[in-house]
Amino acid sequence: MAALFKLARSHRGIQQGMVDHFCDVGICIVHEASPQASSTFRMRLMLVICRLERSIIGPMLRRKFFGSLIAGSALAPVAASTQPSVGQPVQEPYLERQASGLPHKGKVLLAIEAHADDISQMAGGTVAKLIEEGYTGYLVRATNDDMGDSPGLGTPGTIGENVLRNERDNANVAQALGCKQRFDLNYSNHRMADVSLNELICRLILIIRIVRADTMICWDPWAHDEENPDHYMVARAVEAACWMAGRAHDYPEQFAAGLEPKEVQDKYYFARRPEVTRVVDISAQVGKKIAANKANQAQGPGGRLGSRLRTSLAKRNLRLPLLGNDGDSADRNYIREFVLRVNRELGAMYGVQYAEVFHYIPPGAAGADMDPRVEAYVKEHAVPL
């Protein structure tokens, strides 16, 4: 609480009269920031408020609290995207920086997406970073993206054209991020709820066992406010497959083909409004993230939007210096300025240039062979027979 007061009073845009009592439990918050307050400060302030809400306010007050606090405010997207869960210890998200050398050499990364634009937007920098640090990367796309995307974002086309364009785009995304191979499961877009969950789990278990996956990157199966059924259906299957792939009695017929059980060790879950426990510094991977988003020409929101805007302005005898003198520069600069804006703002919050955020599940968090406390006790007290 003292940290919140100190943060509020130390900023020029916050005045003493702006600190109010909230509810009847004596929770003091900064109710309204001055318009002069920087966006970075406002986001940091919202994170503090989120942590207060997590540790003090009960679940019954959650909707009322955030609804009254941020309704109509420019802070709303930031607040929603950083809201932690109730009942967890209050702690700062861990900042994962670029590691030197190849600390992950020999490990396997599996990045699973529902659509061709998911990984590039939500986790492209992190995938590229982990591969640079030694991981062998694989990209799995669940749907064939036959529905295309919202008008104005990508390249309009028929269903058949959408399938072909997105398949090509996804291959280019995998290449841009440094993935060794990609798998397309080719379910119909926006129809994942019709797919047998066990069928999808089985296919993912097979892939996990084939590539011997250690680390998973995917949509968060427990995130709130997710409207796209493909996202949460794929995420549910991934959560189960990561655990079941390590069990000897789940789909044992796969062992006849020479496969072995392989449980995924840790997971980076992303979401529209994530529970942020890990922040990844992707400043060194911005070029690859831009290239991956540029590859999403069928869907956008990167693709060719920069060159399209440049052409549109030229017809009106206008130009934007940001877009440069050619189509390629226009596309890359457009992506850097607009598509990666959220990554730039997140980076500013944590003292780096660009960042991606995740709900990180560490090794042993879900079903370790031995309780870590028991393992530590054995290590300290075990004696020879």
Backbone angles phi, psi at 358, to 5 degrees: -145, 155
Residue 223: C-alpha distances to residues 191, 200, 201, 325, 345 (Å): 20, 20, 19, 42, 21
CA quadruple 107, 219, 298, 121: dihedral positive or negative?
negative
- pLDDT tens-digit readout, 164-204: 999 999 999 999 999 999 999 999 999 999 999 999 999 99
Q: Give residue 2's pLDDT band: very low, low, confident or very high (50, 70, 90).
A: very low
Q: Give residue 369's pLDDT band: very low, low, confident or very high (50, 70, 90).
A: low
Q: Pseudo-torsion of CA 124, 128, 129, 133, nearest 10°?
A: 160
Task: Look at residue 263 and tell me whether its pLDDT is greater than 70.
Answer: yes
Parse the chain into domains and list their residue ranges. 2-91, 95-282+357-361, 299-352
The pTM for the full model equals: 0.75
Residue 331: C-alpha distances to residues 100, 136, 202, 303 (Å): 31, 29, 39, 7
The pLDDT assigned to 153 comes to 73
Average pLDDT value for residue range 252-267: 96
Tokens 């309009």 map to which residue? 156
Q: Domain spanning 95-282+357-361: which superfamily?
A: LmbE-like (3.40.50.10320)
Q: Give residue 78's pLDDT band: very low, low, confident or very high (50, 70, 90).
A: very low
Do residues 237 and 140 touch, judged by C-beta distance below 8 A? Answer: no
Residue 187, strand partner residues:
143
Percentage above 90 pLDDT, the chain:
68
Sequence-ordered alpha helix ranges (H) in the chain: 2-10, 39-56, 62-70, 76-81, 118-122, 124-132, 159-177, 197-211, 229-244, 286-295, 305-315, 327-334, 341-349, 372-381
Gyration radius from the chain CA atoms:
23
- 167 burial (CB, 10 Å; 0-12 / 13-18 / 19+) is middle
Closest CA relative to residue 250, chosen from 363, 242, 226, 63: 242
Angle of CA points 212, 213, 216, to nearest 5°: 170
The pLDDT assigned to 39 comes to 47
The pLDDT assigned to 359 comes to 97
The pLDDT assigned to 371 comes to 73
Among the ranges given (5-14, 146-155, 241-250, 274-283), the one the predictor scored with the smallest mean pLDDT: 5-14
Element of type H or E holding 269: strand 266-270
Name the average pLDDT for the chain.
82
More confident residue, 242 or 367: 242
Average pLDDT value for residue range 9-31: 39
Distance CA 88, CA 90 (A): 6
Tokens 């606090």 map to which residue? 69
The pLDDT assigned to 228 comes to 94
Task: Look at residue 62 and tell me whether its pLDDT is greater than 80.
Answer: no
Average pLDDT value for residue range 49-73: 38
Q: Give residue 72's pLDDT band: very low, low, confident or very high (50, 70, 90).
A: very low
Do residues 184 and 167 touch, judged by C-beta distance below 8 A? Answer: yes
Tokens 């009073």 map to which residue? 9
- pLDDT tens-digit readout, 86-117: 444 557 899 999 999 999 999 999 999 999 99
DSSP for 29-57?
A: EE----TTS-HHHHHHHHHHHHHHHHHHS
Task: Look at residue 343 and tell me whether its pLDDT is greater than 90.
Answer: yes
Do residues 126 and 356 touch, judged by C-beta distance below 8 A? Answer: yes
Q: Give residue 155's pLDDT band: very low, low, confident or very high (50, 70, 90).
A: confident
